[in-house]
Structure 1
């Protein structure tokens, strides 16, 4: 088999379940903005089909899809530089996912830790979609022959499964048709934790709104949440290694580093030895400076639902221009008829 050369192409997406948080922004959207440019073709998606693996109120799902899109646009995703759309507008995703359902092995799915975490002890009662959604995620990526996927550490296993599916398809059909996609995991903001418990990831569904920064929070709310964020009695250390065993301190330093585009080392060089009475107000001021303009622009965009829908439709048309020929050739390789 002759190994083809795949053009550098990025794909990634966010589920529209719940609101957009600081964790989504720093761990996903902000790095996506930075990948726009001549090095990659960038394709970003609101993965609404993934959201319905658990029950969603239909009206809330539609509004949530628009909120995620508004957040991406407000944060700097340029629909002229990138392709931005919602997954349900491109039916090729589910068509390829069925083929991958027939390529992937049950044993692979049984090893997916996120399914075990989400299903808990009630695995027999969850939807088949929740069990099989890693196959759809692989289709999301490989439908565009994406070579790179920016993800958090907790999603790395899904990219590894995508590589397994691509490799098995290529082997079974004797063609190097799908690329072995690389996960891109970098930066201090790739895993933002709860503001009240630094051992838990910041979540859209946490019990208290004080646990998270919502991207629609206004300036006063952002400042209040950071000033009241849980810390510990010790001053900030001067060495990164000294953050071990201090989850809240590590998290707040990581947020400052990501918002200011600095390394953790640089933040500790500035604040090492200082108490929280100095650091948390500085973090609050920085967060307001960086986030309040995004939340304001999100609100403005969300006031015009028709324009967001139109933009997503235009993005879907561009996405299908790439997806259709790849799906068509996939069908031909498998021996299926494609109209």
Structure 2
């Protein structure tokens, strides 16, 4: 007989980002800003996923620094540790334990279809770490260790969320118990995808060797303005309407960034700036970006001057997260048949 969980949370969100490279405008518009808004309607768990980071080599001292910097970015962007749970993944053992159990539930064929592994491993697939291959199982464990009901996802994470749903379904079916919820996506609103300032056809990325390709959340006002002023454009004026942005990737990217920062549509932006040359538009965009991002940079700088403050937030968050995960893991161990309902 299937036994239903009467205490399943109705609206619990889980999300996280890797502490690799500098957090940038794409992270802010594509994730962090939305996380802040979700705090008003959901119980939120936000994680710096350092176990995911080590699926590829990380310099240990740098990883520690970047983990703190990622946590500082979350807080500076508006994630409130009093409203949400904020911690780094490796502090809560349930993530790794449940990931192993899910390694035994997920099928090799499912993982073989994961396009992100193919993209990241490239031609060196045989030399990639096993951790990179089973990364999606750890992502499923991140979410389901807390029985999260919703996950905000962008285009590049939809496939992993589908795998999480498949794992939950198979686990529940294999053991005849509805242990895990079937997680629902929270789709990011259109316009959150941010491209490189040096190449409008490439996504803004931490891994791009050119620092000029992105607006880092640590950039001060002068650097933000300089990067926008030097952003790649084409020789034509801005179009009068959004249809005119087709086949103009750099123009489309800058208009999209303006629209996202100002909470406007691209049509609204072009109603104000269509027909103008790029120079005056870039000046307005720089002023807007500085107004939105410089306070984040300043707060990150303040937080990073006191690592103990960040560590205290992560410690407290980890205690709260572990308390939520503990009964879930006790239930999972009992259902799977692992002797001893409690961990020591």
Q: TM-score, normalised by structure 1?
A: 0.96
1:36 to 35, 39, 42: 39
2:129 maps to what in 1? 127
Runs of 4+ in 1 over 6 A off after TM superposition: none
CA contact (8 A) 1:150 1:184 kept: yes
Q: Cα RMSD between the aligned structures?
A: 1.4
1:249 maps to what in 2? 251
CA contact (8 A) 1:151 1:184 kept: yes
- Determine whether 1:11 maps to 2:14: yes
Correspondence 1:161-180 to 2 at 5 A: 161-180=163-182
SS at match of 1:145: coil
Deviates more, 1:241-250 or 1:44-53: 241-250
SS at match of 2:16: strand
CA contact (8 A) 1:96 1:139 kept: yes
CA contact (8 A) 1:188 1:257 kept: no
CA contact (8 A) 1:188 1:263 kept: no
Deviates more, 1:1-10 or 1:170-179: 1-10
Correspondence 1:148-163 to 2 at 5 A: 148-163=150-165
CA contact (8 A) 1:188 1:264 kept: no
2:308 maps to what in 1? 306
SS at match of 2:222: helix
How many angstroms apart in 1 are the aligned matches of 2:227 and 2:283? 11
- Determine whether 1:65 maps to 2:67: yes
2:51 maps to what in 1? 49
2:29 maps to what in 1? 26
Q: Deviations over 1:189-213 (max 9, x none)?
A: 5321110011111111212111111
Unaligned runs of 5+ in 1: none
The Cα of 1:2 is off from its aligned counterpart by 6.7
2:285 maps to what in 1? 283
Q: Deviations over 1:176-196 (max 9, x none)?
A: 221111222223453211100
Deviates more, 1:266-275 or 1:215-224: 266-275
The Cα of 1:265 is off from its aligned counterpart by 2.6
Deviates more, 1:231-240 or 1:94-103: 231-240
2:107 maps to what in 1? 105
Cα distance change, pair 239–180 in 1 and its aligned pair in 2 (3 A): farther
CA contact (8 A) 1:188 1:258 kept: no
CA contact (8 A) 1:187 1:258 kept: no
SS at match of 1:103: coil
1:193 maps to what in 2? 195
CA contact (8 A) 1:48 1:65 kept: yes
SS at match of 2:46: strand
How many angstroms apart in 2 are the aligned matches of 1:2 and 1:333? 11
CA contact (8 A) 1:22 1:213 kept: yes
The Cα of 1:241 is off from its aligned counterpart by 3.0
How many angstroms apart in 2 are the aligned matches of 1:257 and 1:266? 8
Number of corresponding residues? 338
